[in-house]
Chain A
């Protein structure tokens, strides 16, 4: 049994957004991607603290981009997944998939309507 911890739910959403966005993954696009696809409200504070945590674990790397007038002259910070991050992401998603496999149709306890 591996000692490494699986990623949390929000961490998985962030990592998936990074894969989807490719070279254009920065704060605004990552936040909007999660809100649009996962239909989940995300604050920039929550996003950046999660990205900082992932970067600290060496799952994500970042680089500074260009500054634009509509950003008040502040530069963008682009994020991308590292090979180590990808390995953890794949393991976490596999674990989740294995647990969910064969569960459809959902048991009565998971249904929202009778």
Chain B
């Protein structure tokens, strides 16, 4: 019984180690968690409460650090840009290109709608960004024409950044614009979408 109590005392908080294990991957996980357990046992000999506090602090800060490092390495901010781009494109599609069918789809993106259909709208948008990103990234990787590469990797993202604020203005006051203007804006939106999607998955550029 006493042995059980002693064993309980040196067991680190499972929730904290589970949190950290979620963020870790590959060969780092076992030695890192082992290091934490080893130090936890040392501190717990003096004060179990301090040891728990130390373990939680290490787990939370380390999880944040590991996630931030991975985001930096994998360019997740680019993926977010890609997803934002696909939303801009879908809004334009709804407004100008397919206004009949768009009435239904556009209603799904309304802030007031929270049903399964709206969830489907989000899923389609995100999957669309991913699929298009992989496709256009592959095109960029294999393109022999320098202009295409330039558009996909440099000019496109710049256009996306420039166009994003304007798109919302057009969305709110688009009804009075002439067709040519709407089409040109749609072209810009499509270009933004392509560019945003292309930079969403930079690793797909590797042959």
Contact = CB atoms under 8 A, between A and B. Distances in A.
Interface string B24-43: 00011011111111110100
Given A28-B39, A52-B28, A70-B41, A44 B62 contact: yes
25 contacts: A26-B31, A27-B34, A28-B35, A43-B57, A43-B61, A43-B62, A43-B65, A44-B32, A44-B36, A44-B58, A44-B62, A45-B20, A45-B61, A45-B64, A46-B61, A49-B65, A68-B38, A70-B41, A71-B37, A72-B33, A72-B34, A72-B37, A74-B30, A75-B31, A76-B34
A42 to B, nearest CB: 10
A45 B68 CA distance: 11
B69 interface: yes
A72 to B, nearest CB: 4
Given A70-B41, A74-B37, A27 B66 contact: no
B33 A74 contact: yes
Nearest to A79: B31
B34 A45 contact: no
B37 A43 contact: no
Interface of B is mostly: helix
Interface in A63-91: 64, 67-68, 70-72, 74-77
Contacts of B27: 77
Contacts of A48: 28, 31-32, 62, 66
Contacts of B34: 27, 67, 71-72, 74-76
A57 B114 CA distance: 48
Given A44-B36, A46-B65, A72-B37, A27 B31 contact: yes
Contacts of B192: none
Interface string A39-67: 00001111011001000000000001001
A31 to B, nearest CB: 7
B35 A44 contact: yes
A40 B127 CA distance: 44
